[in-house]
Structure 1
Amino acid sequence: MILAIVGTGFVVGFLVGLTGMGGGLLMTPLLILLYGFSPTMAVGTDLIYAATTKAFGSYQHFRQKTVDWGIVKKLAQGSIPGGIAGVLMIRLLDRTTSLPVEEVLGHILGITFIFVSLFMLSQLLKRHGQRPAKPAWKVPIRLVGLLGGLLVGLTSVGSGTLFMVVLLSSTSLSAALLVGTDVVHAFFLTLSAGVLHASMGHVDWSFVSWLLVGSIPGILLGGRLTLRVPELLLRLAIILVLLFTGIKMV
């Protein structure tokens, strides 16, 4: 069992190292499908796992000065309150309604996975083989942060990928600044939402530790092989896992 957990961490870390995406998108459905986690435990465990891994990446980008702190600040001003609100919404539903919260959250996760997988597919089809276009539209960054944070607090999905899509669409940051800004913001968001989930008992700490044993070398190896593996195939694999999991959970 421990070897399987370490292996899961390695695979997810490897994919993140290769593509820069997919950590939260893959870990939550894998925890539910492979290990029988309840939705709330999967979300909380994934957020703490994500915050820990992103701490290492954030430190590296801080040293490299590849972070746009102005954008991080604006996103965090919306996303951290949004993430906290998402976690509290789960607690409120659990305490004040007779709704089966785990079942409701499972449906929310399923719908989210399907939506994100289809959105990622559309972006992939539009951009594959093309040079990035200049931003065609501007977005209210704090509002995007608020809505994205709410989704992350509820589902743990989107701390990196969804905000990356927004940054790609609305800014002209260099590739290095784009990744660094996204990673650092995701660290603050997942940490704040994860700590709140942990205070409610929604984190399997032993599981997190074994995942990290596999994910850290996985990230390092994936980063070295980035230029050798077709990115299109990897992103399609992530999309298929999300879509399959979402359909199963709805």
Structure 2
Amino acid sequence: MTLTYIFSGFAVGTLVGLTGVGGGSLMTPLLTLLFGVSPSVAVGTDLAFASITKATGTFTHRLRGTVEWRVVRLLCYGALPAALVATLGLKYIGSLNREIGQIIRYSIAISVMLTVIALLFKSKMLDWLNRHPEKQLHGHKLDIATIAAGLLLGTLVTISSIGAGAIGATLLVMLYPRMSAAHIAGTDIAYAVPLTAIAAFGHWWLGSIDWALLGALLLGSMPGITLGSMAARAVPEKFLRGILATTLTLVATKLIL
């Protein structure tokens, strides 16, 4: 079983390094559905896994110059306070009931599929934006929208461990359509490091992290995300968008099912 955990960590880490997506969206369903880990422990362990794995990926993307640090800061302005508030809510209110949790999963799945559409039709979106520049957010309005996106992400990630990559990629594509796929991946990974670290600390406080499981996952994910991050800039843009679209489609299907 340990080897299976290590291999799973490697596979998810490679996908995260290449696309910025796949951490919580793939790992949490994998732990609960395939390995039978309880949902609360799966969420807590996955958040700790994501914070360490994405820190490694951020270092590699930084070396390769594929992180937009200003966008990272704006996302964190919204995401980090939201993660703290959501953690306190889980502590004093308790876990969300099944019905609300299902609504959140379906909402995430819909958002992920919107990302797929945006990626597949990115060139047409750019052509349309070039013809209608007044439709795209700029300056102060874009900054406010980015901070608001961070608020949403911080809440979703703390509650479900899902959204840091998938929804983050969605919002980056929509808000910054001219950003390259490699920069989307690097920026998406970088802002998620402090967010998942705070959320993971909250779940450690709640007692929902399996440290042995975490260690096995990290043994595979560390080389996986390094490899994926190094390859992200070398992989052709069109092919990388295809990988990202395929990954997100699988994520949405898993969330719905």
TM-score (norm 1): 0.80
Q: In structure 1, what residue type is equivalent to 2:29?
A: P
Of 102-111 and 199-208, deviating more is 102-111
Matched, 1:149 2:154: yes
Q: Deviations over 1:161-185 (max 9, x none)?
A: 3223323332355666544433221
CA contact (8 A) 2:105 2:256 kept: yes
CA contact (8 A) 2:112 2:252 kept: yes
Q: In structure 2, what residue type is equivalent to 1:121?
A: V
The 3 A distance-change label for structure 1 pair 183 and 236 is: closer
CA contact (8 A) 1:110 1:246 kept: yes
Alignment of 1:85-124 (within 5 A): 85-94=85-94, 101=96, 103-104=98-99, 106-108=101-103, 110-124=105-119
C-alpha distance in structure 1 between counterparts of 2:211 and 2:36, whole Å: 16
CA contact (8 A) 2:166 2:248 kept: no
What residue in structure 1 maps to residue 137 of structure 2? 137
Deviation (angstroms), 1:10: 1.4
C-alpha distance in structure 1 between counterparts of 2:182 and 2:251, whole Å: 27
TM-score (norm 2): 0.78
Deviation (angstroms), 1:148: 1.4
Q: In structure 2, what residue type is equivalent to 1:246?
A: L
Q: In structure 2, what residue type is equivalent to 1:247?
A: I
Q: In structure 2, what residue type is equivalent to 1:142?
A: I
Residue of 185, 199, 203 corresponding to 1:197: 203
CA contact (8 A) 1:109 1:246 kept: no
The 3 A distance-change label for structure 1 pair 213 and 105 is: farther
Q: In structure 2, what residue type is equivalent to 1:10?
A: F
Deviation (angstroms), 1:24: 2.2
C-alpha distance in structure 2 between counterparts of 1:128 and 1:33, whole Å: 37
Of 107-116 and 185-194, deviating more is 107-116
The 3 A distance-change label for structure 1 pair 150 and 237 is: same
Of 114-123 and 202-211, deviating more is 114-123
Matched, 1:44 2:44: yes
C-alpha distance in structure 2 between counterparts of 1:117 and 1:127, whole Å: 15
The 3 A distance-change label for structure 1 pair 16 and 179 is: closer
What residue in structure 2 maps to residue 243 of structure 1? 252
CA contact (8 A) 1:39 1:102 kept: no
Alignment of 1:26-105 (within 5 A): 26-63=26-63, 67-94=67-94, 101=96, 103-104=98-99
CA contact (8 A) 1:43 1:156 kept: yes
Deviation (angstroms), 1:120: 2.8
The 3 A distance-change label for structure 1 pair 52 and 33 is: same
Matched, 1:183 2:189: yes
